[in-house]
């Protein structure tokens, strides 16, 4: 029997994606100026990025990057445990640990790597990792690669979580959840989950990529907003690439757990450290995020303005009070149609389709930033209403012609 062809498999998969309207196409950004950018030669207002506090191009952040690069170069040159751990890395870890109220923090190249590191270094064969069904893909991949039992509970359902933990009662257990869910924008019921893990003697790990910087006292994230500390949440992830405008991530928490990660986590040991200049930029961003509370206040004002305007226009949003404001379209074609209409009006809002979201839950993932003005938010709401009306007209025509 002849061996199957890789070419045929890839072509078949691509053909199927085309039939399902699920091809992914990269867009080239040639210039950014705050929330405005040039995309494939067109000037658009960005409402689908994650620069929630508007720090990615802040002069102090960029200045710190440039100054450090001029002294220390462009690369990390080695892993942290060999020769790559720089004073800027150390300062950034200490600043973040202090901000988040934890004994220690450990720097990683990305949030994806950090999640792989946490789960794989703490769990193995026979152990159990219980996860919210809407967790980020990196948490799911981490559990699969760790070789542990992966059990998933209905979204934001603490009772479902405890049932899953009880399904494997005699093993080391971790409950992992997003703090803010990246596609729905809602917040995990962390107080209830903390109680579940205490009763079940499990470790609670919170990926707070979309919460740190924007939620809680001083922007310390969803864990702090829930009134929890390191005793209830021994480990949490804070990304440097969302509200802080840079790149990379840290895992913050219990001293012994962080030390264990630093000595055993493969995604930490066997990769080059972040460039020191990038760490310097993130350090500057953290300091700004800690003291410039007006950024969170302005962001919250724009979130409220957007939701009020959407309600007046009859746009049905998901129940989110965060910077992530999804508008469910259902059908993939409808989401693509609305995204194209918005782009024609000068707004960049990406259509999110399965498998990133569940079947039948295609959406526009609208994100707000402290960079957006009130008039820009109002303009987006008006454009969304027109895009909805156009998509509905297209659907009626297709139904009649079909």
Whether residue 153 contacts residue 161, with contact meaning beta carbons closer than 8 Å, is answered with yes
239 labelled as ligand-binding?
yes
pLDDT grade, residue 4 (50/70/90)? confident
| pLDDT tens readout for residues 328-349 | 998 898 999 999 999 999 999 9
7 labelled as ligand-binding?
no
> What are the b/e assignments for 100-129, b being 16+ CB within 10 Å?
bebebbbbbbbbbbbbbbbbbbbbeeebbb
**Which pLDDT does position 393 carry in this prediction?**
84
Q: What is the largest CA-CA distance in the chain?
A: 68
pLDDT grade, residue 402 (50/70/90)? low
pLDDT at 395 over 90: no
**Which pLDDT does position 25 carry in this prediction?**
84
State percent of the chain over pLDDT 70. 100
Q: Which two tokens stand for residue 12?
A: 């078949």
Task: Provide the 3-class DSSP secondary structure of residue 263.
Answer: helix
Last residue of a domain, one of 262, 291, 320: 291
In a domain, residue 13? The reply is: no
- Alpha-carbon distances, residue 1 vs 4, 222 (angstroms): 9, 56
Last residue of a domain, one of 291, 320, 350: 291
In a domain, residue 3? The reply is: no
Whether residue 286 contacts residue 92, with contact meaning beta carbons closer than 8 Å, is answered with yes
Is the dihedral angle over the CA atoms 217, 222, 225, 231 positive or is it negative? negative
Is the omega angle on the peptide bond into residue 355 within 30 degrees of 0, that is, cis? Answer: yes
112 labelled as ligand-binding?
yes
Residue given tokens 């270094």 in the structure block? 121
pLDDT at 136 over 80: yes
**Which pLDDT does position 399 carry in this prediction?**
74
pLDDT at 400 over 80: no
Over residues 271-297, the mean pLDDT reads 97
281 and 306 assigned to the same domain: no
Over residues 208-236, the mean pLDDT reads 98
282 and 305 assigned to the same domain: no
Task: Provide the 3-class DSSP secondary structure of residue 174.
Answer: strand
pLDDT grade, residue 187 (50/70/90)? very high
Beta bridge partners of 178: 207
CB atoms within 10 A of CB 78: 13
Is the dihedral angle over the CA atoms 293, 299, 302, 304 positive or is it negative? negative
Instruction: Report the alpha-carbon distance of residue 177 to residue 196 in Å, rounded.
Output: 13
20-34, 105-119, 168-182, 345-359: range with lowest mean pLDDT: 20-34
In a domain, residue 11? The reply is: no
98-112, 170-184, 192-206, 327-341: range with lowest mean pLDDT: 327-341
**Which pLDDT does position 368 carry in this prediction?**
98
Over residues 300-307, the mean pLDDT reads 98
Instruction: Report the alpha-carbon distance of residue 21 to residue 10 in Å, rounded.
Output: 16
CATH number, domain containing residue 360:
3.90.1150.10
Q: What's the domain range around 316?
A: 27-53+293-401
Instruction: Report the alpha-carbon distance of residue 113 to residue 250 in Å, rounded.
Output: 10
Give start and end residues of each alpha helix (H) in 181-254: 190-200, 222-225
In a domain, residue 17? The reply is: no
What's the mean pLDDT when you consider all of the chain? Answer: 95
24 labelled as ligand-binding?
yes
260 labelled as ligand-binding?
no
**Which pLDDT does position 19 carry in this prediction?**
86
Last residue of a domain, one of 275, 291, 307: 291
| pLDDT tens readout for residues 139-167 | 999 999 999 999 999 999 999 999 999 99
307 labelled as ligand-binding?
no
CATH number, domain containing residue 147:
3.40.640.10
Whether residue 229 contacts residue 101, with contact meaning beta carbons closer than 8 Å, is answered with yes
136 labelled as ligand-binding?
yes
| pLDDT tens readout for residues 52-70 | 999 999 999 999 999 999 9
């Amino acid at each position: 029997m002849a061996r199957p062809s890789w070419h045929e498999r890839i072509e078949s998969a691509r053909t199927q994606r085309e039939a399902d309207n699920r091809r992914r196409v990269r867009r080239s950004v040639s210039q950014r100026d705050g929330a405005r950018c040039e995309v494939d030669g067109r000037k658009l207002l960005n409402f689908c990025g994650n620069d929630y506090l508007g720090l990615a191009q802040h002069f102090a952040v960029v200045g710190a990057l440039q100054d450090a690069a001029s002294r220390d170069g462009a690369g990390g040159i080695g892993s942290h445990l060999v020769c790559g751990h720089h004073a800027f890395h150390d300062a950034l870890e200490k600043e973040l640990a202090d901000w988040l109220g934890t004994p220690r923090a450990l720097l990683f190249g990305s949030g994806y790597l950090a999640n792989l590191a946490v789960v794989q270094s703490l769990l193995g064969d026979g152990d159990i990792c219980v996860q919210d069904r809407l967790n980020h893909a990196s948490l799911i991949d981490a559990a699969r690669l760790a070789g542990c039992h992966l059990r998933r509970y209905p979204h934001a359902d603490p009772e479902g979580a405890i049932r899953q933990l009880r399904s494997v009662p005699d093993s080391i257990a971790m409950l992992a959840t997003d703090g803010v869910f990246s596609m729905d924008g809602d917040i995990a019921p962390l107080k209830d989950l903390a109680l579940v893990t205490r009763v079940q003697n499990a470790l609670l790990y919170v990926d707070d990529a979309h919460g740190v910087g924007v939620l809680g006292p001083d922007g310390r994230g969803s864990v702090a907003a829930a009134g929890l500390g390191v005793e209830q949440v021994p480990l949490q992830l804070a990304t440097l690439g969302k509200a802080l405008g840079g790149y990379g991530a840290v895992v913050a928490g219990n001293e012994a757990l962080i030390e264990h990660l630093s000595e055993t986590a493969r995604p930490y040991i066997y990769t080059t450290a972040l460039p020191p200049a990038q760490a310097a930029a993130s350090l500057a961003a953290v300091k700004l995020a800690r003291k410039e509370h007006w950024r969170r206040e302005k962001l919250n004002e724009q979130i409220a303005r957007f939701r009020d305007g959407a309600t007046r226009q009859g746009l049905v949003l998901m129940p989110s009070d965060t910077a992530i404001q999804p508008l469910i379209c259902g059908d993939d074609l409808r989401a693509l149609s609305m995204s194209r209409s918005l782009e024609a009006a000068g707004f960049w809002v990406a259509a999110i389709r399965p498998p990133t979201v569940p079947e039948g839950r295609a959406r526009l993932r609208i994100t707000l930033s402290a960079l957006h003005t009130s008039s820009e938010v109002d303009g987006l709401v008006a454009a969304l209403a027109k895009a909805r009306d156009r998509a509905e007209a297209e659907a009626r025509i297709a139904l009649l012609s079909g």
